[in-house]
Structure formats: structure tokens, C-alpha cells
Amino acid sequence: MKTVLVAAVALIDVDGRVLLARRPPGKAMAGLWEFPGGKVEPGETPEAALIRELHEELGIETWSSCLAPLTFASHGYADFHLLMPLFACRRWQGTPVPRENQELAWVRARDLADFEMPAADRPLIPILRDWI
């Protein structure tokens, strides 16, 4: 089974809310909420992938020094295995805006479980909730 490396980030605002993005129609797992991020390209670090993805998907800038490794998910889907480090980020430049037809929501950590998320993301919720 192929392993896919995806980097994700919990963007945490000054009020302690976490940004979730809803996968748009036409994408795998459309309609589910997830932490922003994306696939790590060959030769790319997870931090570099997040910096690139946050610029492409949300129009914001951040730096490796602002990405703190928090935890990771390791989950087997039917046709691939997902390995996903989750970083926490409290500093970025700009205001997140949906650039890829996704919906965005700022969510209190205690309410994250109320959002339908991919199976790999769900075990990250209690860790993130306890950390915030």
C-alpha cells in the first residue's frame, strides 16, 4: 500500500479558535472539514509544504519558525496509508481567505468534534483540545 505524506496545521487565532477548511465539491472526501495543508512534494520538508500550501490555499504567509510540531496521524484508508504531521501555528501574515473554493470556519477547540472530519483527523481533536 502506498504511503502518502500530508502536512497539516492548526492555525490558532488570538481568541484560541482553530481554522478548519471544508473540502469543496469534486475533491475526494468533499464536504468534510479538515485542518489546512496538503501533500508534501518530493524533496520538500513538511514545513516547506505548509508554507507553500497556506499561501496557495489561504493567501497567508508564515515561516518555519512559527510552525510547532504538535502530533501526527497515521491512518490506513482503502487505497493508501496517510501519514500526517500536525503543526500548530499562532503567527502568520495576512487574513485567511478561501482561494480554492473551500469554506472556512474558525472553531473553538471544544467544538471541533462537532464538525464532520476525515477519519485520520478525528484522533487529533482531543490532543489539540488539551493543548490549547
> What CATH number is attached to the domain comprising 82?
3.90.79.10
Determine the pLDDT at residue 45.
97
Distance between CA 28 and CA 31 in Å, rounded? 9
The pTM (predicted TM-score) of the whole model is 0.93
Domain count within the chain: 1
Burial 99-127 (b: 16+ CB within 10 A, else e): eeebebeebebeebeebebbebbeebbee
Which regions in the chain score pLDDT beneath 50? none
Determine the pLDDT at residue 27.
85
What is the residue range of 13's domain? 3-131
3-state secondary structure of 27: coil
